Structure 1
């Protein structure tokens, strides 16, 4: 019974995610999600309080998928600068591959999470903060091992790096040739992290 309920809830979230990505959060009603799912309105209210509750759960699910994609990356594992740079490239490719494979998921995170934030203040802010802390753990490792400058705040660097990744991912959603745009973007993020902008 519990598995059946979990499966139904997951089906609702998948349908809602698809419709939110296609129509946008504000233009989507429960009836649109019900039509996509092929179920009556009453089904939703057994699992969710309202559209905002569904939307928050869709965003949480999307964030979980991002973390799952990076689950095998240990922030403290790299012991050489070559390993560290390779890890940065690997993470970049995983994230950008996720954007290409799951554009609906990414539209929800990049566009709709802000709109949903009005219904639940700090939803997007908390997500950005959690992502910054995650990235900061990798930055700390680079600083501790001398690969990155120690005089910079790892948390702020994490926010900045994430900003570059998100901007690239948003552009990737609209790129005609994602592969052509992805590699230069990842290379530029890596170069900025390790070499900065100063001329030599």
Structure 2
């Protein structure tokens, strides 16, 4: 029972820090801010976390866990071009929704985590690497099944696609709250069209005039 109580309190501290870092910013949030939010003594806080940086790393680790859950139960495996496109749309929407569905997460990763500490930078890079690995796996499956070009650079294309997702998330979060659902749908549609149809329209194809 004491162990469960300790785990529950630790999660409550991370919950409060997660929200405060997003709302107030890393530099404007202090250990005293988090402790006051939960009506904890400083000594209690320090039993769980060494300092503010340690709690921020725990917050980033929560983000990484969220990203790791995106493809659970939906590994690459489509056997037709239509099914492949549907699966890519589904996974892309999940990655997109991780950021747009939780404005706190987007702000922490895209704003607050920038330039704080080498350890934090490494954690954020780990989060982006998870996203890249997820996207790359689906691209590699598409290449293997003949749904995508055989010479496709899956590693770099995966990171470019994820950059589109992150920029789309920024665009949605900048929109008025009542327009975010429609804006999100437009960003997802544009990203899928870019992946499967491209933007050339045939004008730049070899032999075109």
The normalised TM-score by structure 1 is 0.91
Bigger mean CA offset, 94-103 vs 173-182: 94-103
Matched ranges for 1:72-83 at <5 A: 72-74=73-75, 76-83=76-83
Aligned partner of 2:183 in structure 1 is: 181
Aligned partner of 2:139 in structure 1 is: 139
Could you give the per-residue CA deviations for residues 68-120 of structure 1, whole angstroms, max 9, x where no partner exists? 2442321x221111111111222233234344432212211221222434454
Name the CA shift for 1:101/1:192 in 2 (closer, same or farther; >3 Å): closer
Bigger-Rg structure (1/2): 2
Unaligned runs of 5+ in 1: none
Q: Aligned-pair distance for 1:67?
A: 2.6
Instruction: Work out the CA distance in 1 between the residues paired with 2:9 and 2:173.
Output: 29
CA RMSD of aligned residues (A): 1.8
Instruction: Work out the CA distance in 2 between the residues paired with 1:77 and 1:98.
Output: 23
Could you give the per-residue CA deviations for residues 111-143 of structure 1, whole angstroms, max 9, x where no partner exists? 122243445442322222232122111111111
Q: Aligned-pair distance for 1:57?
A: 0.7
Instruction: Work out the CA distance in 1 between the residues paired with 2:97 and 2:127.
Output: 20
Partners of 1:147 and 1:194 within 8 A in 2: no
Partners of 1:13 and 1:58 within 8 A in 2: yes
Q: Aligned-pair distance for 1:170?
A: 1.7
Could you give the per-residue CA deviations for residues 38-84 of structure 1, whole angstroms, max 9, x where no partner exists? 2111122111111111001101102212332442321x221111111
Unaligned runs of 5+ in 2: 203-209
Bigger mean CA offset, 16-25 vs 29-38: 29-38
Aligned partner of 2:107 in structure 1 is: 107
Name the CA shift for 1:161/1:198 in 2 (closer, same or farther; >3 Å): same
Instruction: Work out the CA distance in 2 between the residues paired with 1:165 and 1:98.
Output: 10
Partners of 1:52 and 1:119 within 8 A in 2: no
